[in-house]
Amino acid sequence: MNALGRSRAELLLELADDELILGWRNSEWTGIAPFLEEDVAFSSIAQNEIGHARALYELAARDLGTDADSLAFDRTLDDYRCAPLVELRRLEWARTIARHWLYETSDAIRLDALKASSDPEVVGLAAKMDREEIYHRMHAEMWLERLLATDEGRRRVEEGVRELWPYALGVLDDELRHRFQAIVRERLPFELPDVEPVPRGHHEAELEELLGEMTVVRRSAPAGAQW
Amino acid sequence: MIFEVFRQERKGQAFMHGGSFHAPNREFADAYAREFYARRGESVALWVVPREEIVEIDEFPDEFDLKYRRVDGYSIKARLKEARERAGTLQG
């Protein structure tokens, strides 16, 4: 058990599930992003997130005596530990950017905490992920700035952030959440209410649908199929 | 805005034109250039330049046909042959 009160594998699965499900959601923009350049960039971010998930599952799988694919695809709905924020299906660009920015802001705080942990494998992986996440944060920040620069963009981002706010608060544990709230309130030009977080452990209806689609190939192939 | 990208494949080599893309500003251009021209390890450095910042020159008047200034110069083959004949050193 670590300082956060759960085993290393449990902690890794939370993070891996966040990255996998968000990567999946972000990949839903492939082919339909606002313009071609962004399509490529956002798809690449989605791929990176799924790559992070794989590395995290591999580490967790060693602790649990299984393998990464089994963790990613073979668990039941209730076993997934992702935050409801990443499960939501909001195929609207301002909401996507709002979630992207809120998630990356949380993730930066979480990675900092992991980089300061006493487990060298976790520290190494967190540092490796962070070297890519820097670019995700730059991407999220430049989009936020761009949307906030116009009246319509600002209105849409504000709507999106307000809608996602309770979910965003559910990504981090209590002690880290305060830092997240402070950073968000400092950055955004509108007030956000004190609300109860939507915590991990409960799932949005959209997750079941996503898992069904995500595992369809896995379920159709005989066990042990090699790709 | 349209940005032009110049790629360097290995340290010390000249930058070569790689292509162009649209981006709303320099920050987006930075992000997109990385995705399009460096994600696969195909470049060690990039120059990303707004197209409007590039000075293009494509008219080079040569009214008096000063061929000797051009890289291809002018042909001396015939004159060389004549000179060799005069000197009696023509081969073959």
Taking the domains of chain A in order of start, what are their residue ranges?
A: 8-220
Prediction ipTM score: 0.77
pLDDT of residue B92: 60
Determine contact: B39 vs chain A, CB below 8 A.
Answer: yes
Measured distance CA(A117)–CA(A122) in Å, rounded: 8
In this predicted structure, which of A94-98, A152-156, B46-50, B70-74 has the lowest mean pLDDT?
B70-74
Contact B27 A35 (CB under 8 A): no
DSSP β-ladder status, B2-8 and B16-22: antiparallel
Give the residue extent of every domain in chain B.
Answer: 2-53
Contact A138 B24 (CB under 8 A): no
Contact B32 A135 (CB under 8 A): no
Helix axes A120-148, B26-37, angle to 10 degrees: 130
Q: Enter the tokens of residue B18.
A: 């790689």
Measured distance CA(A130)–CA(A134) in Å, rounded: 6
Confidence of residue B61 (pLDDT cuts 50, 70, 90): confident
- The CATH code for residues A8-220 is 1.20.1260.10
Q: What is the layout of strands, in order, in the sheet containing B2-8?
A: B16-22, B2-8, B45-50
Over B8-76, what HEC string results?
Answer: ECCCCCCCEEEEEEECCCHHHHHHHHHHHHCCCCCCCEEEEEEHHHCCCCCCCCCCCCCHHHCCCCCCC
A171-192 confidence digits (pLDDT tens): 999 889 999 999 999 999 999 9
Mean pLDDT computed over B60-81: 81
Query: Residue A139 is nearest to which of B24, B25, B31, comparing CB atoms?
Result: B31
Q: Enter the tokens of residue A53.
A: 């998930």
pLDDT of residue B74: 73
Chain A interface, Cβ < 8 Å to B: 35-38, 40-41, 44, 135, 138-139, 142, 145-146
Amino acid at B39: R
Parts of chain A with a pLDDT under 50: 1
Mean pLDDT computed over B72-89: 85
Within 8 A by CB and 6+ apart from B14, the residues are B8
pLDDT of residue A1: 45
3-state secondary structure of A41: helix
Mean pLDDT computed over B24-28: 94
- The CATH code for residues B2-53 is 3.10.20.520
Contact A142 B22 (CB under 8 A): no
DSSP type of residue B78: H
Q: Are A78 and A172 in contact (CB under 8 A)?
A: no
Sign for the pseudo-dihedral over CA of A90, A142, A133, A188: negative
pLDDT of residue A2: 53
In this predicted structure, which of A27-36, B38-47, B59-68 has the lowest mean pLDDT?
B59-68
Query: Residue A146 is nearest to which of B22, B24, B35, comparing CB atoms?
Result: B24
Determine contact: B21 vs chain A, CB below 8 A.
Answer: yes
Collect all residues of chain A within an 8 Å Cβ-Cβ radius of residue B22: 35-37
Best residue of A37, A40, A44, A93 to probe chain B, by most B CBs closer than 10 Å: A37
Q: Enter the tokens of residue A224.
A: 């042990």
pTM (2 decimals)? 0.86
Determine contact: B2 vs chain A, CB below 8 A.
Answer: no
